[in-house]
Amino acid sequence: MNSAQKLYLLDVEGTVAPLTLTTSQLFPYARKHLSEFLERHAADRTVGDDLLLLLEENLRENEPGVPEILSGEEQREARRGGRRSLSIGGVALRERALTYLLWLMDRDRKSTALKSLQGKIWKAGFALGELKATLFDDVPDALARWSAAGRVAIYSSGSVEAQRLVFRHSIFGDLTGMISNYFDTRTGAKGEPASYSAIAAAMDVAPNEVIFFSDVVRELDAARAAGCKTRLVVREGNALVEDAHGHAAVESFALI
């Protein structure tokens, strides 16, 4: 790689991990343990904050058929009283929250509250050794080379906390020592050039000193529009890309 390369920016699923990491490992684990987790941590302040945010998200829903956590007078009272009036302490409200969470998961909705709760459940699963993140075989050596030559950062739609868990509890052990920073959609949407400009600024490098690896062409388009270099990652199990929009493709990190 060109010696001017200072930041190796990596997507997760389809790039360093199989697409099935979330769908076959993480999501089913969170779904299985969600009800028990909410009951066990009903008095936990950080979980309470997640549930308050979930209530706020639910109140903003306008999709037909969405499960309501609050109904009728409860909604009117919540809107009058603001955040302080919201409560998830009762069993009935927890059950309604669970119904809404499962509804969000069924639709793969990008709910901030859901992501935070999932991250907490995964953290517990990783700590117990019940979860190990599957990564591609070429990832550890590539991270070692790239972190020695420059810096490595992760940019994924999964939360920063979830990203750290994946690399701390991978099948190859703890790889977090080779990663300088993590970014999620709080930085911006992955299909927006401004997100990649923001990451470059946060890492104190010029956009042309960033090379972004992803299996999604529209993300690569956005990174290139911001001035970054790009590589389309082709892995077993990824969707076939018929038009790469001129992004150079790589099947392995071994020679990079």
Whether 2 shows a pLDDT value over 80: the answer reads no
Q: Which domains does the chain have, with CATH numbers?
A: 7-17+133-250 (3.40.50.1000), 24-127 (no CATH)
**Residues in a beta bridge with 165:** none
* pLDDT tier, 14 (very low <50, low <70, confident <90, very high otherwise): very high
Out of 78-82, 167-171, 188-192, 197-201, pick the least confident. 78-82
Burial of 56 (0-12, 13-18, 19+ CB in 10 A): middle
pLDDT at res. 75: 62
Averaged pLDDT, 103-131: 92
pLDDT reported for residue 158: 83
For residue 145, what pLDDT is reported? 96
At residue 89, the pLDDT reads 53
Instruction: Report pLDDT for 1.
Output: 47
Residue 159 is predicted with a pLDDT of: 84
Confidence tier at 83 by pLDDT (50, 70, 90): very low
The arithmetic mean of pLDDT across residues 199-211, rounded, is 98
Residue 99 contacts by C-beta under 8 Å, 6 or more apart in sequence?
67
* Helices marked H in 107-138: 112-127
Task: Give the pTM.
Answer: 0.81
Phi-psi region of 104 (alpha: psi -120 to 50; beta: other; left: phi over 0): alpha
Using CA atoms of 76, 78, 82, 87 in order, give the dihedral in degrees to the nearest 10: 180
**What average pLDDT does range 107-130 have in this prediction?**
91
Best CA proximity match to 120, nearest among 55, 28, 50: 50
Angstrom distance (rounded) from CA 178 to CA 150: 10
DSSP assignment letter at 26:
I
pLDDT for res 27 = 93
94 sits in which H/E element: helix 91-106
Distance CA 32, CA 98 (A): 12
179 φ/ψ angles, rounded to the nearest 5 degrees: -115, 125
pLDDT band at 157 (very low <50, low <70, confident <90, very high): confident
Question: End-to-end distance of the chain based on CA atoms, in angstroms?
Answer: 6
Cα torsion 182, 188, 64, 53: sign:
positive
Collect contacts of 65-69 with beta carbons under 8 A, ≥24 apart: 66/100, 66/103, 67/96, 67/99, 67/100, 67/103, 68/96, 68/100, 69/93, 69/96, 69/97, 69/100
H or E element that contains 250: strand 249-250
| Distance of alpha carbon 225 from alpha carbon 149, whole angstroms | 25
Q: Is the pLDDT reported for residue 211 higher than 50?
A: yes
